[in-house]
Amino acid sequence: MKDNALKTFIQKTYTASSPIPYIITIQIGVFILSHIFSIIGSQANTDIYTLIISKLSLPNTIEQWLVQPWSIISYSFVYSNLFQLIFDTLWLYWTGTIFLNLLQPRQLSFILATSVIIGGVLFLLISSLTPLATSTLPFTSITFGLAALLGTLLILVPNSEVRLFFFGNVKLKIIASVYFAFEIFHFIYNNQIAATIAFLFAILFGIFFIQSLNKGNDWSTMFNKKKKRHLKLVHRREGNFDYSNDNPSQEMIDHVLDKISEKGYDSLSVQEKELLFKASKKN
């Protein structure tokens, strides 16, 4: 019985189109393996752990990065602190789930991957080419990706409420503001000016992505090959949907998401925007 339950869980988790389970699995896997090698290294009097972490982390100079170019991606999966790993994975799961109730997995993957790469490039450039960088620490974690993801939600559903222990219902824009302030304070306190600037840029990237999507420009499709479309007449019966329902069906949500992809967020009616708001509150 337990084997069937585990098998069902794995199938539902990893057969979905969401990139979130795969990202979290790699982050946890890297954390566990690096600490296993740490134990092995301590017995053999070799510091394997430090070597692995340094090779996967994003260095603070372009010269060092040229020796390990893969780190522009791998740094987002590296964690040496268990608390930060738990915090970021929970944060990614929560914000990613809200995002996927509103938009597509392709768009989520694009935002995370692009913000990680652009944030990493900015970190390298600022650390190497300006006198602002006073920290010599490499950078790890998916923080830049989380900043961009939350920036998108800040525009999509700023007034969506989340129930928190001891605080009750709190609006998303309040939670986002606290998170941004906390991360910026953390970077400045540790003299990570390059990380601070890259973090702020990642937030703006997420905001600009949604603003562009609202105008009908989906950046996540820029690398897709355009296929010839045959003219097809489709009659939509929008009047059949009951937008006053507090528990909207998946068909209603899919209809609104398709409309966003085709015409942008601004094309939605007041009722359709309220439907998205209701869908986001379910999570």
Helix (H, G, I), strand (E, B) or coil at 160: coil
**CB neighbours (10 Å) of residue 131?**
6
Q: Please, how many CA atoms are within 13 Å of residue 106, restricted to the half-sphere of its CB?
A: 9
Helix (H, G, I), strand (E, B) or coil at 154: helix
pLDDT of residue 231: 41
Look at residues 111, 130, 113, 110 and name the one whose alpha carbon lies nearest to residue 122.
Answer: 130
User: Looking at the domain that runs over 2-221, which CATH code has it been given?
Assistant: 1.20.1540.10
Handedness of CA 93, 24, 140, 124 (dihedral sign): negative
Task: Spell out a b/e string for 242-271, using b for 16 or more CB atoms within 10 Å of the CB, else e.
Answer: ebeeeebeeebbebbbebbbeebbeebeee
Pairwise CA distance, residues 149 & 206, whole Å:
6
pLDDT in tens, 197-210: 999 999 999 999 99
Look at residues 119, 92, 90, 120 and name the one whose alpha carbon lies nearest to residue 108.
Answer: 92
Domain ranges in the chain are: 2-221, 238-281
User: Mean pLDDT of successive 10-residue segments in the chain (283 residues)?
Assistant: 64 77 95 88 71 91 93 95 93 92 92 96 88 73 95 89 75 91 92 92 95 88 60 45 63 70 65 68 55
Look at residues 62, 194, 65 and name the one whose alpha carbon lies nearest to residue 128.
Answer: 62
Pairwise CA distance, residues 88 & 28, whole Å:
11
pLDDT in tens, 132-180: 656 667 899 999 999 999 999 999 888 887 777 677 788 889 999 999 9
Q: Phi and psi of 18, rounded to 5°?
A: -70, 135
The length of the chain, given as a count of residues = 283
Q: Which residue has the tokens 């609202």?
A: 214
User: Per the confidence metrics, is the pTM higher than 0.85?
Assistant: no
Look at residues 120, 138, 119, 133 and name the one whose alpha carbon lies nearest to residue 51.
Answer: 138
